[in-house]
Amino acid sequence: MSSTLAPKKPDWNKRIERTISLGERHPGTAEVLNFYRRILELQKQIYECVASLPALSRDGPFCERLDADAALQQLPALLSLVQKNGPSKLAQEAADFSRASPEECRQVLEVFLETQDADDAGPYAFFARVLFQPLAEYLAATPAAMLTGFSGMVCPVCGAKPQVAVLRPEGDGGKRFLVCSFCMTEWEFRRILCPMCGEEDYAKLPRYNAEGISAVRVEACETCHYYLKSVDLTVDGLAVPVVDEVATAALDVWAMEYGFRKISRNLMGF
């Protein structure tokens, strides 16, 4: 299997605009997408702030190059945003976290960075992920982060698991890429291959669509019982994979009801 890394700088405005258009098109998702839009707006500010500062270190493991001090500076703004606009449970977590000491806040951030799996990063992992993701995207988008000849099932830049697959138009069909759940790097990946266990038998890799959601589907594996969603840009060229993936939580509910477990939950917890 050969893969080609395709790093690119994030288009924050495109993501933000997509939350608005999908919320208008699918009123049932409007509440979560409105909250996600506010999170994206804050992440855009964090990214732009980091981009205006001296370059981050290129030495050492990826997560060790992320600046915890920069994340801590943005934490009060995030906690305030979540308390005002987040779902009740998350708003309460933000209120609880706001009472933590600076040392406790730093510990939460450090535990997140030490944990390879964001789903297992412990209490308040949502806040750490929101704060560090723009920093990770900035590092991943720099020329120093580019790799060639990569072949693997986890991100070639930061080592995180994939969040979503995307089919990009090529010739008469589409080429499959995986999108990292942390730094959002994309890398090419075989069409018929489970990114969790490596299953190659087409008959054991079912794909499921929902009525009214033509561009997004569930790609499951009956061997390991994991799944991820795929966004088909040959069907909807305006789709933004990380946003459309959040907007189709109904597919996640369906997949879990049938006994599948998601490879990596998205930022909104689906």
d(CA 199, CA 252): 21
| pLDDT the model gives residue 54 | 74
pLDDT in tens, 59-82: 778 888 898 888 999 999 999 999
Q: How far apart are CA 184 and CA 137, in angstroms?
A: 6
Q: State the DSSP string of 108-141.
A: HHHHHHH-S-GGGS-TTHHHHHHHHHHHHHHHHH
pLDDT reported for residue 1:
41
Mean pLDDT for each 10-residue chunk of the chain (270 residues)? Answer: 55 97 92 97 95 73 87 96 96 97 94 79 88 93 59 87 94 88 92 95 94 91 98 95 95 95 94
At 178-232, the pLDDT tens digits run 999 999 999 989 999 999 999 999 999 999 988 878 899 999 999 999 999 999 9
Q: CA nearest 6: which of 147, 132, 136, 134?
A: 147
Return the beta strands (E) in 83-224 as ranges: 162-170, 173-180, 186-188, 207-210, 213-220
Report the pLDDT value the prediction gives residue 74, as an integer from 0 to 100.
96
**pLDDT in the model for residue 7:** 52
pLDDT of residue 152: 79
Rounded Cα–Cα distance for residues 202 and 242 (Å):
26
The Cα–Cα gap between 140 and 7 comes to: 7
CB atoms within 10 A of CB 35: 19
- pLDDT of 155: 92
pTM above 0.85, yes or no: yes
Q: What is the pLDDT of residue 58?
A: 63
- Give the H or E element holding residue 12: helix 12-25
Determine the residue type at 254.
W
